[in-house]
Amino acid sequence: MRAPLTIAGVELRRFLRDRSNIFFVFLFPLLLVLILGAQFGGDGTQGRVVVVGDASSLRTELVAALEDDGVTVTSAGADEATEQVARGRVDAALVVPASAAAAFDDGAEVTLEVVPAAQQGARLAVQQVRTAAAAVATGQGQVRALTQAGLDEAAAQDALAAASTEMAPPTLAVVDVDEVAQEFAGLGQFDLGAAGQTLLFVFLISAAGSATLIQSRRLGVMNRVLAAPVSTGQALAGQALGRFVIALFQGAYIMLTTALLFDVDWGNIALSLLVLAAFAAVAAGAAMVIGAVMDNDGAASGLGVGLGLVLAALGGCMVPLEVFPDTLQTIAHVTPHAWAYDAFALIQRHDGTLAEIAPQLGVLAAMALALLALGTWALRRSMARAL
Amino acid sequence: MTVSDLRQRLRDRSVLLYGLVVPLALMVVFDLTLGDQEVELEPLTVAVAAPEGDVLADAVVTVLGDLGDLDVTVEEVSADAASARVADGEAGLAVIVPAGFTDAVTAGEGPVVEVVEGDGTGLEGDVVLSVLDAVLDQLAAGALTAAAGAEAGLPAEVVASLGQAALASAPVLTLEEGEAANEQLSASGALVAGQAGLFLLFTVGFGVLGLVAERETGTMPRLRSMPMRPGLIVAAKALVSYLLGVGATAVLLTAGSVLFDVSFGSPVAVAALVLAAVAAATSLMFVIARVARTAEQANAVQSIFALVLGLTGGAFFPLSATGLAGQLLDVNPVAALTRGLGITSGGGGLADLGVPVLTMLGFAVVCVVLARLVPDRGEAR
């Protein structure tokens, strides 16, 4: 057993010595998790509205009403706002011209302009602007009705404030039976991204690392190892173990840092690590196969990166699996990513037990065994091949 | 020299792999996962349960039936049936108004209107919720005004009419919808553009980064000993990069537009964008060629640049940022290419492409200057 462990240790040390790997292994995954979390985290359905116009009481009230509704409000000049709408960086622009602000202060009719963008959230943003405008108008109406009844404005405001502490307004209680929404309920901002990114990088780093196998074959390292009192089986086990340790190291690193930095909840940590280990074994097997079948290291890392990205996209690591159309969800399960994704989802969101994730673990283990067997066999044959 | 290099590169399968196969495969997968995202609101069926003869509850139902942008079919059912219809998928949304609603609102008891959201009613459901918010707000306003009047000691007959008066004297705020130019690609279009931009950064490496490989294998001095100006060697490598980049991007954009039914607009304008984008990408490779000591390092640095620029340029998902972050993102050639294609797809011509083309050319100039300034770490020592 010592020989394989030594070989695996050497592989890991070589991997960590490569300075470009520092970026890919340590920094890039966190960058992705951060960006994904910032994009999709929290409540992403609320609109973004840019408000144009000088400061006025009307503008202030509209912004307050929009923000009450959970809308993200920014302000910009007219030209900049138009550009932001055209580019879809906001859902709508609300223009509050000086004439409207003056009319509002005088109690006359007010005309505002809303410019929707050409994208999904735009219609909702327009409705949210309407709701905000209605709220502003209603608030004004309340004060006016009281002043017309003989109160002065300050007294009217005070009376309204006092009444609002005693009167409970009618409220909406929303129950969501949407399966996708329920599935994501209770997930932290970065949780979804972190699980997907972990799988993406474990596989990607592993597959791209298959190039080192080809190099060691070309440089005759493998032959020299075999010249030492080490059997072919031990040498191959060492290579496989090396790949596995690298994949496991990468995954554990992402899990640890996302838990510490982004407060990602990995559920039952022992089970999560078990899923990671099964997936890392699959990734190691894939790397062995690529490294044994191909003879050009450049093309091998190209294929590894390409395969890593495509399988990750198909397996739900870039766009969540739950939002896939049904047929595609089925197709997605040809990838190990989808099975591991399901297992993580069970552990993270439903407190899944070992028994519940057993099917996923079983499939991953079967995939790993098949790939490792194929990789070992191919590597054994490739040693007889001249490079 | 260029021709022989090109022939060599095209024989090398990794160009095809990085330049065409992988990005196309990713485009297909992404497009499948995205499905079709419609901008227009879909019609929605709302099951409403409202107590008989309740004035304010009727007001809620009336508003739901007439929403302007959104085509809503209102089905009046019993409270138990409403949720069941959502569960069966017969209705997208159920609204359940409690018994005694009017009295509860007037007395300020805070009645709760229940809404059950069904599968896939995301955006349309949110629109209805926003409308309901506005309606309840109005209903509460009348009651609140009356209560405030009583609080301030106004006579009872005045208080009784205050609720009506509050709604009647609310100022009229009219919203007019303006039109903005559409400079956006559809979700599929943005991904095609982003992926083409990302992999362009890989493809152009096959020419310029060849300089590093030539240095490493020792063929560089031999090339230099040939009877021609050394500048020609660099020029030839740059030309290889440029031709590969233009070729791959053209194929990707064409294939993408055919496969995913995306229109990028005027071919002339698109060609200008592609030429500028490839110039920016090729010039970046010169910086990498100077910085990298070995071919392996060059490839690693190139991948880092490509992935960071691709990611922040919206190759995997659209990023939205405003302010300083937005301006930083705008400098990115991948983002500029995507933006330019957005403008052309919206019907823009060469004249409208000033900003993205200048951005990319500016990026190219800065890179060329940088490549001159940074110390060459790859010289034989």
Residues A207 and B14: their CA atoms lie apart, in Å, by 15
B39 → closest Cβ in A95, A120, A140: A120
Chain B CB contacts of A147 below 8 Å:
none
Q: What tokens does A63 get?
A: 């912004």
Percent of chain B having pLDDT more than 70? 92
* Interface check B11 vs A, CB under 8 A: no
The verdict on a CB contact (< 8 Å) between B70 and A123 is: yes
The verdict on a CB contact (< 8 Å) between A141 and B136 is: no
- Most confident range (mean pLDDT) of A173-187, A298-312, B233-247 is B233-247
- Most confident range (mean pLDDT) of A71-85, B158-172, B303-317 is A71-85
Residues A120 and A128: their CA atoms lie apart, in Å, by 14
Residue count of chain B, please give it: 381
Q: What tokens does A299 get?
A: 């093309």
Which SS3 state, helix, strand or coil, does residue A50 take?
strand
- Cα of A143 to nearest chain B Cα, Å: 8
- Most confident range (mean pLDDT) of A79-88, A200-209, B265-274 is B265-274
Percent of chain A having pLDDT more than 70? 91
Using alpha carbons, list the distances in angstroms from residue A265 to A43, A164, A182, A260: 18, 40, 17, 10
A191 or A161, higher pLDDT: A161
- Cα of A145 to nearest chain B Cα, Å: 5
Chain B CB contacts of A95 below 8 Å:
178
Please check whether residue B239 is in contact with residue B2, taking contact to mean a CB–CB distance below 8 angstroms.
Answer: yes
Question: Side chain identity at A310, as an amino acid letter?
Answer: V
Rounded mean pLDDT, B151-180 = 81
* Interface check A154 vs B, CB under 8 A: no
Task: Using the predicted structure, report yes or no on whether residue B216 has a pLDDT greater than 60.
Answer: yes
**A17-27 in b/e burial notation, b at 16+ Cβ within 10 A?**
eeebbebbbee
Per the prediction, chain A carries an average pLDDT of: 82
Write the pLDDT tens digit of every residue in B52-91.
888 888 888 888 877 777 788 888 888 888 888 888 878 8
Strand order in B93-96's β-sheet?
A171-176, B112-117, B93-96, B44-49, B72-76
Write the pLDDT tens digit of every residue in A230-259.
777 777 778 888 888 888 988 999 899 888
Which SS3 state, helix, strand or coil, does residue B240 take?
helix
Task: Using the predicted structure, report yes or no on whether residue A44 has a pLDDT greater than 60.
Answer: no
Q: What tokens does B183 get?
A: 């400079």
* Interface check B111 vs A, CB under 8 A: yes
A137 → closest Cβ in B133, B158, B170: B170
Q: Using only C-alpha atoms, what is the Rg of chain A?
A: 30
Using alpha carbons, list the distances in angstroms from residue B147 to A14, B135, B163: 77, 19, 9
The verdict on a CB contact (< 8 Å) between B148 and A156 is: yes
Q: Nearest-CA residue of chain B relative to A174?
A: B115
End-to-end CA distance of chain A: 29
Binding-face residues of A in 18-77 toward B, CB within 8 A: 18, 20-21, 23-24, 28, 31-32, 35-36, 39, 45, 48, 50, 69, 74, 76
Task: Using the predicted structure, report yes or no on whether residue B201 has a pLDDT greater than 60.
Answer: yes
Q: What are the residues whose beta carbons fall under 8 Å from the beta carbon of B165, sequence distance 6 or more?
A: A144, A145, A148, A149, B145
